Amino acid sequence: MGRDDVLPVLYDLVVTIGSEISVKPLLTRTLQRLLYHTSFSAGFICLDVSPCEHEGGVVEVHLDAAVGDFDLIGEIGKPIHLPCALICRSAGREDEQAALLSALRCTQTQYKAYLRLPIDQCGVIVLLAAEIPETDLPLTTMLQPVLSHLAKAIVLCRSNDASTSVLVKQRDMLEQVFESSYSSVMITDDQGNIIEVNPAFTRITGYTLEEVRGRNPHCMASGRHDKQFYREMWSDITEAGHWEGEIWNRRKDGEVFPSWLSINQIRDKSGKLLHYVGTSSDITKRKEAEAQIHQLAFYDHLTQLPNRRLLVERLQQAFSVGTRSGQHGAVLFLDLDNFKTLNDTKGHDTGDQLLVEVAKRLDACVREGDTVARLGGDEFVVILESLSTTSDEAAAQADMVAEKIRDELSRPYQLSNHIHYSTPSIGVVLFRGNLQSLDDVLKYADTAMYQAKTAGRNTIRFYDPVMQAAIEARAELEEDLRHALERDQLRLYYQVQMDSRRRPFGAEVLLRWIHPERGLIPPAKFIPLAEETGLIVPIGLWVLQTACAQLRLWQSKELTRDLTLAVNVSAKQFRRPDFVKQVQRTLVESGARPALLKLELTESIVLENVEDTISKMRELKLLGVSFSMDDFGTGYSSLQYLKRLPLDQIKIDQSFVRDIASDPNDAAIVQTIIAMSEVMGLLVIAEGVETEEQREFLDLRGCHAFQGYLFGKPVPLEEFEVQLKGQ
């Protein structure tokens, strides 16, 4: 090979070297090129060859590349042992060469010559041939520029390899994380359309990448969150670049499940939005576990009712609610009578059956928000909340629930193969806010329950003896009231109503109960009870019928022909759908002139349901009946509704009349009521007028109708008629 032939070879080699970026192909290709252009037939390359110390010794080197038909190829990448001379010295005499080559384990006979080309500081190339090739120039000298170029390329490729391997490792690692992550990962483009999901995503949602690619994640929305939820989520993502929270999504099979989702924005260095990444984990199991733990910790496993721990928590809550609202609450402590006998004779399974049934019945007796708990054994506790602010009423309410519970629990039980009868003993204690301690309330209720047991079981006892007595008296009164009508114990009293010239123009009828033992009971004592029990309906009808009958009787007498009667109507009565019919029938049956009948309503009736009130009043007015607004000024006195009501008269409440002469405030109120009535074209009457001073004051201000002790107290009919004659 001459000098001119060498240049294209060098060029080819340089191009080969320059085109590689990784060490291994660089070495192999360079070696291939060298063998192609020379008459050598095989060769190998070792890098990082350390200088030999012993001429005849053996050196351990690393075989980095080998080309040709010889066994070293199998050794690439491994350390091998070679004669020092083959690696470290340039070619020597022919016999010497032969000796060296024979030292190469696998090629003793095939190769007769070799050429050693050092690659600067990097290593060495050894070319092997069967014959010594002929060249004009020593090849080593010719190849020198290429070898130093190769050395540089090796350095570059090595660092390239190093950084590539770091990147590859990193990429592999990230891919593994992505693939093996237990959390679902979803990547979208900057528009929020899915471009990548991992296997966990598919496992959790049921969707493969193909099924969701290009779609918006909203395709998995469960419908459990409103627009506001998503609006806030996106405002967090756009403002902070991040959102994290619990979200309900829908799997491919339609199942809705809870997951903990975190969404992040991915931006490039310039801040341009590239992706959104959503990582989430299915928290169904966690939620179930939480619920299970909660169930175990706070509920009785037999009846599924709250246990003592939850009871205490609920009671504490009830205390603080009561402190704020001023309303009473009650604790009912229940124990089943003779439960032990059932357990002993029929076995625990039967006992358990009874407890489960009792739990069900108890739950059905209370309102939502009330608590029924099982303390253990056959002891149950019920917490009633939001009872009245007054203790009397609250006690009555608690008593009503306790009665209901007693009735329910006393019904027969069907237990596996027999009918069982059971009764409870119930202790009741009222509480309001934090006035008593929690332990005390439970202790008192327990004590009251024992008192109930001592009193003969199947009994309700209040802890407070005063309250217990009141409840008993009330129960008695209620029982008596049920018979008051049939036993003819109710009477109407008549209180005269006067005009400004002291001429009677009518009366208000006021109910009295003449009790055989208690004597005369005023309406304030029994009307609330009648309203609660519904007895007001038949009683109210009786009042109406009696008043109308009286009007009819009066119609035939000169003196009484034009007298009007005002009848008080209670809310329960007025609200009945057949109230208008009742009045109409009563008028027809009695033959009373409707124009003489005046119905007194209170503000609370009206406010309860303004529309219903107006329509009923209109119907009755068509019959000729008139209306008065009783106790005016004590309610909300909203002029708004007053304007809409077809009223005839306003009755100034006696509480304003009482101090009219001394309290400028009351005087002002009364004056305003009168002026307002005038504007609205309504009549005014003042009730509770007791003194001449009050009468004069009212008269001067324009109120010309009066009712009060000054003119006459409510009296029985006979007395009233005598009074009339005396006028």
Contact residues for ligand C2E, defined by CB under 6 A = 495, 510-511, 522-524, 527, 540, 543, 568-570, 600, 630-631, 654, 687-690, 707-709, 714
714 binds, among Mg ion, ligand C2E, none (CB under 5 to 8 A by kind): ligand C2E
> What is d(CA 145, CA 516) in angstroms, rounded to the nearest whole number?
138
DSSP-derived letter for residue 299 is B
Q: Which helix (H) or strand (E) holds 116?
A: strand 113-119
Task: Please say whether the beta carbons of 497 and 706 come within 8 A.
Answer: yes
- Using N-to-C axis directions, what is the helix angle for 579-590 and 536-555, rounded to 10°? 30
Q: Report in angstroms how near the CB of residue 602 gets to Mg ion at its nearest.
A: 8
Chain positions 567 to 596 lying near Mg ion, rule: CB under 5 A, are 568
What Cα–Cα distance (Å) separates residue 121 from each residue in 147, 152, 155, 458, 508? 10, 10, 10, 108, 128
48 phi-psi bin (left φ>0, alpha ψ -120 to 50, beta other): left
Q: Of 600, 649, 666, 670, which lies in the binding site for Mg ion, with binding defined by CB under 5 A?
A: 600
- Cα–Cα distance list, 115 to 6, 90, 131, 262, 441 (Å): 17, 7, 11, 65, 107
CB under 5 to 8 A by kind: which of Mg ion, ligand C2E, none does 300 bind?
Answer: none
Nearer to ligand C2E, 122 or 510 (CB): 510
Pick what 570 binds: ligand C2E, Mg ion, none; C-beta below 5 to 8 Å, kind-dependent. Answer: ligand C2E
Burial (0-12, 13-18, 19+ Cβ within 10 Å), 236:
middle
Among Mg ion, ligand C2E, none, residue 708 binds (CB under 5-8 Å by kind): ligand C2E
690 binds, among ligand C2E, Mg ion, none (CB under 5 to 8 A by kind): ligand C2E
Collect all residues with Cβ–Cβ distance below 8 Å to 99 and sequence separation of at least 6. none
Can you tell me the distance from the alpha carbon of 31 to that of 47, in angstroms, rounded to the nearest whole number? 13
**Minimum distance from residue 651 beta carbon to Mg ion (Å):** 6
CB of 413 to ligand C2E, least distance (A): 43
Binding partner at 351 among Mg ion, ligand C2E, none, C-beta below 5 to 8 Å by kind: none
DSSP state of 688: -
User: Residues near 585 by Cβ (< 8 Å), separated by ≥ 6?
Assistant: none
Least distance to ligand C2E, CB of residue 401, Å: 26
- Residue 446 or 630 having the CB closest to Mg ion: 630
Order the strands of the 460-462 sheet from edge to edge.
371-376, 379-384, 329-336, 424-431, 460-462
Q: Using CB distances below 5 to 8 A depending on partner kind, what does residue 691 bind out of ligand C2E, Mg ion, none?
A: none
Q: Which is nearer to Mg ion, 441 or 685 (CB)?
A: 685
Per CB under 5 A, the segment of 160-168, 357-365, 443-451, 630-638 that binds Mg ion is 630-638
Secondary structure in 3-state letters for 164-183: HHHHHHHHHHHHHHHHHCCC
Question: Residue 565 touches which of ligand C2E, Mg ion, none (CB < 5 to 8 A by kind)?
Answer: none
385 counts as binding Mg ion under rule CB under 5 A: no
Amino acid identity of residue 384, one-letter, is: L
522 binds, among ligand C2E, Mg ion, none (CB under 5 to 8 A by kind): ligand C2E
- Do residues 126 and 49 lie in contact, with contact meaning Cβ atoms separated by under 8 Å? no
* The token pair that represents 583 in the structure block: 């009045």
C-beta of residue 378 within 8 angstroms of C-beta of residue 335: yes
Which DSSP category does 221 fall into? B
Phi and psi at residue 22, in whole multiples of 5°?
A: -130, 145
Please enumerate in sequence order all residues whose Cβ is within 8 A of that of 219, keeping only pairs 6 or more positions apart, or say none.
212
When CB distances are held under 5 to 8 angstroms depending on the partner's kind, the choice from Mg ion, ligand C2E, none that residue 719 binds is: none
Contact of residue 194 among ligand C2E, Mg ion, none (CB under 5-8 Å per partner type): none
Which CB atom, from 6 or from 537, has the smaller least distance to ligand C2E?
537
Q: Looking at this protein, which amino acid is placed at residue 92?
A: G
- Taking the complex as a whole, the smallest distance from the CB of residue 658 to ligand C2E amounts, in Å, to 8
Phi and psi (nearest 5°) for 267? Answer: -120, 155
Beta pairing class for 683-687 and 705-707? parallel
Nearer to ligand C2E among residue 690 and residue 699 (C-beta): 690
In the bound complex, what is the minimum distance in angstroms from residue 636's beta carbon to ligand C2E?
17
Decide whether 115 or 509 has the Cβ nearer to Mg ion.
509
- In the complex, the smallest distance separating the C-beta of residue 526 from ligand C2E, rounded to whole angstroms, is 9
Q: Which of 599, 630, 712, 714 binds Mg ion (CB under 5 A)?
A: 630
For residues 321 and 529, which CB has a smaller minimum distance to ligand C2E in the complex? 529
Pairwise CA distance, residues 234 & 242, whole Å: 9
Considering beta carbons, is residue 117 or 629 the nearer one to ligand C2E? 629
Rounded to a whole number of angstroms, the minimum distance from the CB of residue 337 to Mg ion is: 48
CB of 654 to Mg ion, least distance (A): 6
Closest CB 684 distance from ligand C2E, rounded Å: 15
Provide the minimum distance between the beta carbon of 457 and ligand C2E in the complex, in angstroms, as a whole number. 40
Q: Is there a contact between 460 and 330 (Cβ–Cβ < 8 Å)?
A: no
Those residues whose C-beta lies under 8 Å from the C-beta of residue 304, and which sit 6 or more positions away, are: 295, 359
Q: Which is nearer to ligand C2E, 429 or 509 (CB)?
A: 509
422 contributes a contact to Mg ion by CB under 5 A: no
Query: How many alpha carbons lie under 13 Å from residue 43 in its C-beta half-sphere?
Result: 24
The distance of closest approach from Cβ of residue 495 to ligand C2E in the complex, given in angstroms and rounded to an integer, is 6
Which residue number, 8 or 522, has a Cβ lying nearer to ligand C2E? Answer: 522
Cα distances from 709 to residues 140, 543, 658, 674, in angstroms, run 143, 22, 12, 21
Nearer to Mg ion, 480 or 630 (CB): 630
The answer to whether residue 658 forms part of the interface with Mg ion (CB under 5 A) is no
Token representation of residue 15? 């191009």
Give which of ligand C2E, Mg ion, none residue 547 binds (C-beta under 5 to 8 Å, depending on kind): none
Pairing state between β 649-652 and 626-632: parallel
Least distance in angstroms from the C-beta of 584 to Mg ion: 22
Query: Which listed option, ligand C2E, Mg ion, none, makes contact with residue 327 (CB within 5 to 8 Å by class)?
Result: none
Q: Could you tell which of Mg ion, ligand C2E, none binds residue 527, using a CB distance below 5 to 8 A set by kind?
A: ligand C2E
Nearer to ligand C2E, 204 or 689 (CB): 689
Distance CA 672, CA 684 (A): 12
- The answer to whether residue 603 forms part of the interface with Mg ion (CB under 5 A) is no
Q: Which is nearer to ligand C2E, 419 or 524 (CB)?
A: 524
DSSP 8-state assignment for residue 463 = S
Selected range binding Mg ion among 206-214, 334-342, 564-572, 656-664, rule: CB under 5 A: 564-572
Cβ proximity of 328 and 322 under 8 Å: yes
* Buried b or exposed e, range 677-686, using 16+ CB within 10 angstroms: beeeebbbbb
Nearer to ligand C2E by C-beta: 258 or 688?
Answer: 688
Report the C-alpha gap between 703 and 499 in whole angstroms.
Answer: 9
Minimum Å gap between C-beta 399 and ligand C2E is 24
Q: How far is the CB of 341 from ligand C2E (least distance, A)?
A: 50
| 480 makes contact with Mg ion (CB under 5 A) | no
Instruction: Give the interface with Mg ion as residue ranges (CB under 5 A).
Output: 568, 600, 630-631
